[in-house]
Amino acid sequence: MTRPTPAAVLETLAWAAVTCGVWLATLSSVSFPEICFAAAAGVVSGTVATAGRRALGGSWRFQPRWAGWAPQVVASLGAELLELAEVTVRKAPHGRLHTLRMPEEDREHASGREALATLALSSTPGTIVVDGDPEEPTLTVHTLVSRGPDLTAVVRR
C-alpha cells in the first residue's frame, strides 16, 4: 500500500471540511453529537471523493477569480426564491432546457470550471444543471425562473 501524498491529504481534508460544513448548515440546531457525526461523515466522504476523483483520472484546476461568483449566487438565491413563490401562486410555465457553452480552456481548468459552475448554478432554486458533455465544453441547464443576476453569464466569464 502506498502512502498518501501531502496533496491527497490536503484534498481529503478540503472535501471533509466542505461536506461537514454542508451537513452542519442544514441543521436547525447544532449539538456536540451532530458535530462529531458531521466530522466523521466528512472524513469518510472526503476520502471517498478523493479516491473516486483519482480513480477516474479527474484533475481540476481553479482560477481564484471564480470565487467572485459567490456574491452573484447569493443574490440569485434570494431573487429566485421570491420569483419561485410567485410562479407557484400563478402556476406559470415549467421552465426551459438550454445548452450553455463554456469557454475553451485546457482540460484541467475546463473540468474545474464545469464542477464549480454546476455547483453555483444548482445552488439556486430556479436553475439546475442536468448534464455535462465531457467531449464538448457544454452544460445542459434547466431554468425555471430567472430573476436576479444571470448566473449563466457569470460562470462563463
34 and 75 in one domain?
no
> Per residue in 86-110, pLDDT tens?
777 777 667 788 899 999 888 888 8
Let me know if residue 1 belongs to a domain: no
Let me know if residue 117 belongs to a domain: yes
Helix (H/G/I), strand (E/B), else coil: 135: coil
pLDDT band for position 35 (50/70/90)?
very high
35 and 70 in one domain?
no
Mean pLDDT of the chain, nearest integer: 86
Q: Which of 156, 115, 137 is nearest to 18 (CA)?
A: 115
33 and 76 in one domain?
no
Domain with 100 in it: 64-156
Show the CA angle centred on residue 28, arms to residues 67 and 46, nearest 5°. 50
CB 148 within 8 A of CB 80: yes
69 and 35 in one domain?
no
138 and 81 in one domain?
yes
86 and 146 in one domain?
yes
Higher pLDDT, 7 or 40: 40
Q: What is the DSSP letter of 144?
A: S
Q: What is the pLDDT of residue 128?
A: 87
138 and 85 in one domain?
yes
Count of domains forming the chain: 2
Query: Following CA atoms 68, 71, 72, 75 in sequence, which dihedral angle do they give, to the nearest 10 degrees?
Result: 180
Q: Average pLDDT, stretch 132-152? A: 83
pLDDT band for position 31 (50/70/90)?
very high
Q: What is the pLDDT of residue 93?
A: 64
